Structures are given as structure tokens and as C-alpha cells.
Structure 1
Amino acid sequence: MNATPLSMPRRGLLIILSSPSGAGKTTLTRRLRDWDPSITFSVSATTRPPRPGEVDGRDYQFLSEAEFKSRVTNSEMLEHAHVFGNFYGSPKGPVEASIEAGRDVLFDVDWQGAQQIKNSSLGQHVLSVFFLPPSITELHRRLVSRGQDDEATIAKRMQKSWDEISHWDAYDYVLINDDLDATEQRLISIVTAERLRRTQQPGLTSHVRTLQSEFEDTR
């Protein structure tokens, strides 16, 4: 199923999808982009060195620490964090350009990054969705079924998952992912509706003024 184009030009959304590990965020993100391939990922900036095969501007924007801090000081980052000795962040400029061009942008950030973006100058265009598992038992089963981690690692992931779940109420929408297909349809419905928010339709004011002028002409 393809996304239906809107009748009026619109601004893009900053779409933040979050979930604990095993709750389906990766799959649902892929399905959302299959539904509308024009939805793109925000390319993060980092001060860590490139890994083999990584391309500057495609995988990350690789910056020096001085350049990164300068951008933060100049409010050129929507969010940023210091992780394991390196800085990571979301550059504001490319996202702002996408929004004005009517293109939605996906962000892969935790709840703290989500809050920074919502509190930024582009916060009115944010759509944040958190996916909950149907139960802790099911979440544990999904992590075990991957066959990627030992029990100690799974236990750490479970603890981190609960830390993430505890911030569920910081999001605009919360979906319980008990059925992948149904959750996908709910997510698509949310994105479709949010694209019609008044703040996302820059042409509305002009249209209403035109209606007012037409009304005056009929009097």
C-alpha cells in the first residue's frame, strides 16, 4: 500500500519511534518506510572516528570535538549526548530543510534525545511514538528467541528495557505491540493524521484569507 499524497503542500514531521529491545521498533520502522519510501532517517553527527566502510554524510557526519561543541553552542544540534567517550547528535540544518520541503524525518534516539528534540525550536513538528510489549514474559521470550545473547546479557537488556518503559508517558502516542500487522496499521493511521495537523499545513492561513475575500465579495 502506498502513501496517499495530500491535496495541500505540508511541512514534514520529525518522527521519533522508540521501544525497549524486543518490542518491535526496528520492524515497524522498516514497515513504515515501505509504506512511504520518502520518509528518511536523520544522519547523526559524531566525534568518533569512521569505522571501515562508513561514509561521511551517509552513515554519520564525522566531526572533530571542537566542531561538534561549536555547533552545540550555536544551537545547531537538535539533541546531543556524550556516550562512551564520544559525542553524538542530530544536526538541525538538514532536518529543517526536509521539514520545509514536506519530507518526514525519522530519528533513532532514546527518551532523553526525544525530549531534547521536543524542546527544540522544531518541537511543534515532532511526532513521538513508543511501542510497549504485551507483557514482560513476551518481551523476555522475544529476546531469547533471537539466539544472539547469553542469559547474563539478556538480563541486562531486560533491566535496560524496564528503564526505557518507565518513560512511556513522555511520548505523544503509546502502542501496545501485541499484533505486528495491527500495530503497523495504527502507526500508519497516526502518521497520516499528524500530517494534517494545523501546524503542518502552511497554506491554511492563505486559504482562509482567500475564503474571507470571497465571502466579502458575495456580500
Structure 2
Amino acid sequence: MDPTQDSTDAAYLSMLTRTIPGVGNTPYVPTASKPTSSISHITNKNTATNDLTAHSTHAIAILEHAQQDALFISEGEERFQTVDIFIPSNQSHAPSSLPSTTTTTVTTSSNTAARPLPSESDLLSILKEAQLLPNESDIACEQTTDLHIILNQSNPGSDKIQSALLDLFHYDPTASPTQHPTVALYRVILPSSPTRVHLWILGWVDQHLMGFHTISIET
């Protein structure tokens, strides 16, 4: 455990990377190759192989390719992790029941109907139901469709991250953010560790919220 982390934050990070023990705490060592051991995948316990369509399986492959050797630079360096949160249609936060006040304007490449992105409160509920957030009160969440901090060229691999967001969500960084709200950045701040801001970059692929997770160190 990083000596600067408290026990709650360390437990949260361990939970996020629980499917591949130790990956989240492995220091970055630049190499010429792209080792598969660098792939860290966040999912929820409800996700099963038979929940994946051909489109969502292809989407995971795009995300995993993009996050290899990609880093987010803040006051530290953090890897990206791929995210796949399956939400069955009978759950309270399924796509059909999300608020209609936040709507998308284009469809994904699978030709499914455009779905509203989760609001801040919806995302916190989704993450808690998926057991991807600790049992804490007063967790803050901020949502934006401006991804410039993620796609900043100072972040190694930002071009591949941008390409993946374009392929999956038609995200165009040169367009007005309100024109293509098919993907959003959510800043989740735990009261127990306010200097480690969890960044979730998410959009819908079928019944899955997919995208990336990383951490911004903000002292």
C-alpha cells in the first residue's frame, strides 16, 4: 500500500482491481512492447459472458487496446483501466429508466437507440449497486461532457484514448460538447481521500456502461 493512502482509499483501489490482483499498484515502467499484464478491467458481479453481444465484446477489445501504456498525468501518473458495467433491463438504473433530462443526440455503431447518460446521482447509485464504491456517505460526483483533461497531449497514449472514444461514442473533441453527449466524464470524490479524484469516462454500449477509469492526484 502507498504510505500516502489511508486504509479506506487503499481498500477502494483494491476493490476496483479485484479481478486482477496487484495490477492497480504496479508502477509504470515504459517498454517497447505492450504486455497483456498491463490490462486492468473493472466490471460488476452481474456481468457474465452471455451478457456480452458481439458489439459489446468488440467494444471491450477497442478499450483494452487503447488503455495499454496510456497514462493520465496530474500530480502523479496513473494508468487507465477499462470499464464494463452491465445493467440488466430489470434494474432500477437500467437505460430505460434513467432521467429524460439528459439525452443523447446520436446512436452508437450498433444502431441501438440513443440512451440518456446517467446523472451524477444515478452514477453513484450504479457504482454502489455494482460494488465499485465503498459504503461512505457524502461522496461527491461532478459530470461534464468536456474531456479535454483526458485527451490532453501531455497524457501518454491520449491519441489512442481519443480514437477509442470516437469509435465507440462518436466523440469529437472539436465539436461543442453539448452536440454529442454520448460520453461523459464523471469526477467522483471520496470524503476519506479528497486528493485522489476518481475519473470515470463512460458511455452506453448496448446495456453496458463502458469506458475508462483513472485517478487524478489533486493536492
Q: TM-score, length-normalised on structure 2?
A: 0.25
Q: Which has the higher helix share?
A: 1
Which of the pair has the greater relative contact order for Cα pairs under 8 Å at 6+ separation?
Answer: 1
Q: Which has the higher strand share?
A: 2
Larger radius of gyration: 1
Q: TM-score, length-normalised on structure 1?
A: 0.25
